């Protein structure tokens, strides 16, 4: 039904654009009825179409119709403000007040430094790219939380503590925000490293203040950089302090389970105190992306630049071992290079070379470097890995060579190998 209404509106827009619409036509009346139905039942995309239609009507001088639709938009807006969405209704059962943008985050008593950041849910949540199993795990948690009221009523409340762990730059913090967005809950982001290192001695008190704040409101509490605790433990001067801090955390996490959802994040799960680790009912590993996920991440960040499957498969292969964060940084560099050098018709290889020049990190960029330093080697490796699914022509296209050149390189390579084998 929504699709039909959407199509109708789009059709009307197109007619407006080509000025084919007959003034006072039956179509205007139908559109008004459709808009009324659609605004009551569809999402923001539909609203956007109606707003565009209002503009088009005004341009066409159809002021009466434009005003009638504007009136519909206004009344739908005030109605939707009064009518909470399904998730919000469900969370009404949770204790706590609604957090509004007017509420200031709590601050350290002596320094006035804020103890957390508050992020309000985005309109259109975008998930980081994860393997299917992780996406399913996340969806399950969200689904259970969306039904918290019903589940609580039968004594099967969803898990209230979750630990995300994995390498730096794999999208853990991003995932925390995404979960808040999906649940329609504000995220209170506390970075334990900031809390601890900056306020040694008053850390336990700050943790208490932070949890009291989070327990007062309906929110998702995100405890980022959780391994900062482990760093503190390494310091022999701080034995008393770490005990105080760990105890404060354990007590506060236990108490919080009566209030809301807590998500902790760490890069070094092995360093965490076992008592802290045990507190988390759900533990999820966020992995470094595999080839298919890298393709999707690259495609997402390369937009609006044009891409094709050969280019994505190639880029995904040369970026093995890179995290989502690395890929995002690489794509930013490629975009900068291609934009600045747009007049000289830059090739992908030029852009990759420029990136490699300023990125020397732990050997993970080795293949990227090889693309410009030894393209023959790259061609040989790709052609000996059929799972990549690229032909000689494809490899030629991305390396800026014709198929005959790639074929010649491979023959020369084979010949060299045979000669070496014969010599041995
Ligand atoms: N799987 C992914 N899909 C899409 N984007 C990603 C992914 N992983 C990382 N990113 C990008 O990298 C940025 C950094 O990710 P994020 O800060 O969430 O990583 P992290 O795991 O929390 O890293 P750290 O452990 O260093 O804090 C994100 O904002 C996002 O733009
Ligand atoms: Mg992070």
DSSP H or E segment with residue 188: strand 187-191
CB 285 less than 6 A from any atom of ligand 1: no
Which residues, by Cβ under 5 Å, contact ligand 2, an ion?
Answer: 173
Q: Ligand 1 test: best mutation among 266, 293, 325, most atoms within 8 Å of CB?
A: 325
pLDDT band at 195 (very low <50, low <70, confident <90, very high): confident
Structure confidence by residue, pLDDT tens digits, 4-16: 555 555 665 556 5
CB 267 less than 6 A from any atom of ligand 1: yes
Answer whether residue 88 shows pLDDT above 50.
no
3 state SS for 336-375: HHHHHCHHHCCCHHHHHHHHHHCCCCCCCCHHHHHHHHCH
Q: How far is the CA of 300 from the centre of ligand 1 (A)?
A: 13
Q: How far is the CA of 157 from the centre of ligand 1 (A)?
A: 30
Question: Are the C-beta atoms of residues 327 and 173 closer than 8 Å to each other?
Answer: no
Residue that wins the pLDDT comparison between 326 and 417 = 326
CB 316 less than 6 A from any atom of ligand 1: no
What mean pLDDT value characterizes the chain?
82
Q: Percent of the chain having pLDDT more than 90? A: 35
Answer whether residue 423 shows pLDDT above 70.
no
Of 164, 165, 257, the closest CA to residue 214 belongs to: 257
Structure confidence by residue, pLDDT tens digits, 228-263: 876 666 666 667 777 788 888 889 999 998 888 999
Q: How far is the CA of 415 from the centre of ligand 2 (A)?
A: 50
Q: How far is the CA of 172 from the centre of ligand 2 (A)?
A: 5
Predicted TM-score (pTM) above 0.85: no
DSSP type of residue 417: H
CA distance 411 to 40: 66
Handedness of CA 173, 179, 181, 185 (dihedral sign): negative
Q: Look at residue 145 in the predicted model and tell me its pLDDT.
A: 87
Q: Look at residue 409 in the predicted model and tell me its pLDDT.
A: 86
Check whether the bond before 59 is cis (ω within 30° of 0): no
Q: How far is the CA of 41 from the centre of ligand 1 (A)?
A: 35
Structure confidence by residue, pLDDT tens digits, 392-415: 999 998 888 889 999 998 887 776
117-285: what fold?
Rossmann fold (3.40.50)
Of 350, 353, 312, 355, the closest CA to residue 333 belongs to: 355
236 burial type by CB count under 10 A (0-12 exposed, 13-18 middle, 19+ buried): exposed
Of 236, 242, 238, the closest CA to residue 273 belongs to: 242
CA distance 201 to 110: 12
Structure confidence by residue, pLDDT tens digits, 197-215: 655 678 888 999 999 999 9
Structure confidence by residue, pLDDT tens digits, 331-378: 999 999 999 988 877 888 888 888 888 876 656 677 887 877 788 888
CA distance 386 to 395: 12
Helix residue ranges, H only, 223-265: 228-234, 239-256
CB 170 less than 6 A from any atom of ligand 1: yes
Q: Look at residue 17 in the predicted model and tell me its pLDDT.
A: 47
Task: Give the other-Cβ count within 10 Å of 53's Cβ.
Answer: 20
Find residue 361's DSSP bridge partners.
Answer: none
CA distance 147 to 155: 12
pLDDT band at 196 (very low <50, low <70, confident <90, very high): confident
Q: How far is the CA of 170 from the centre of ligand 1 (A)?
A: 5
CB 176 less than 6 A from any atom of ligand 1: no
CB 324 less than 6 A from any atom of ligand 1: yes
Question: Are the C-beta atoms of residues 137 and 284 closer than 8 Å to each other?
Answer: yes
Query: Mean pLDDT: which of 152-161, 293-302, 413-422 is highest?
Result: 293-302
Structure confidence by residue, pLDDT tens digits, 294-307: 999 999 999 888 88
Ligand located closest to 267 CA = 1
Question: Are the C-beta atoms of residues 158 and 260 closer than 8 Å to each other?
Answer: no
CB 171 less than 6 A from any atom of ligand 1: yes
Q: Look at residue 415 in the predicted model and tell me its pLDDT.
A: 62
Domain-by-domain residue ranges, the chain? 2-82, 117-285, 291-423
CA distance 163 to 265: 6
Rounded (to 5) percent helix, strand, coil in the chain: 60, 10, 30
CA distance 36 to 38: 6
């Amino acid at each position: 039904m929504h699709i039909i209404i959407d199509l109708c509106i789009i059709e009307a827009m197109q007619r407006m654009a080509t000025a084919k619409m007959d003034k006072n036509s039956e179509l205007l009346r139908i559109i008004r009825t459709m808009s009324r139905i659609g605004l009551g039942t569809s999402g923001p995309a539909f609203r956007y179409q109606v707003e565009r239609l209002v503009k088009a009507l005004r341009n066409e001088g159809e002021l009466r119709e434009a005003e009638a639709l504007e009136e519909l938009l206004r009344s739908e807006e005030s109605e939707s403000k009064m009518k909470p969405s399904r998730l919000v209704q469900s969370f009404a059962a949770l204790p706590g007040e609604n957090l509004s943008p007017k509420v200031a985050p709590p601050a350290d008593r002596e320094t006035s430094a804020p103890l957390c950041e508050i992020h309000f849910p985005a309109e259109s949540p975008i998930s980081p790219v994860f393997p299917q199993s992780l996406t399913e795990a996340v969806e399950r948690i969200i689904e259970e939380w969306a039904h918290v009221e019903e589940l609580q009523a039968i004594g099967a409340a969803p898990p209230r503590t979750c630990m995300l762990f994995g390498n730096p730059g794999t999208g853990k913090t991003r995932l925390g925000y995404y979960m808040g967005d999906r649940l329609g809950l504000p995220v209170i982001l506390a970075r334990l490293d900031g809390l601890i290192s900056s306020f040694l001695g008053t850390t336990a008190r700050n943790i208490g203040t932070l949890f009291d704040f989070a327990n007062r409101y309906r929110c998702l509490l995100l405890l980022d950089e959780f391994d900062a605790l482990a760093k503190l433990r390494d310091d022999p001067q701080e034995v008393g302090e770490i005990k105080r801090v760990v105890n404060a955390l354990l007590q506060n996490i236990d108490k919080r389970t009566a209030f809301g959802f807590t998500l902790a994040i760490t890069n070094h799960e092995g360093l965490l105190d076992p008592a802290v680790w045990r507190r988390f009912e759900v533990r999820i590993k966020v992995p470094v992306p595999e080839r298919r996920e890298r393709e999707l991440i690259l495609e997402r960040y390369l937009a609006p630049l044009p891409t094709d499957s050969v280019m994505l498969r190639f880029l995904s292969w040369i970026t093995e071992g890179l995290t989502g964060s690395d890929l995002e940084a690489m794509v930013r560099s490629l975009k900068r290079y291609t934009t600045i050098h747009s007049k000289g018709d830059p090739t992908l290889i030029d852009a990759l070379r420029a990136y490699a020049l300023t990125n020397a990190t732990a050997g993970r960029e080795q293949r990227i470097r090889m693309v410009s330093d030894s393209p023959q080697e790259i061609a040989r490796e790709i052609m000996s890995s059929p799972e990549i699914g690229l032909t000689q022509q494809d490899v030629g296209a991305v390396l800026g060579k014709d198929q005959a050149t790639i074929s010649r390189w491979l023959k020369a390579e084979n010949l060299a190998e045979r000669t070496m084998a014969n010599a041995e």
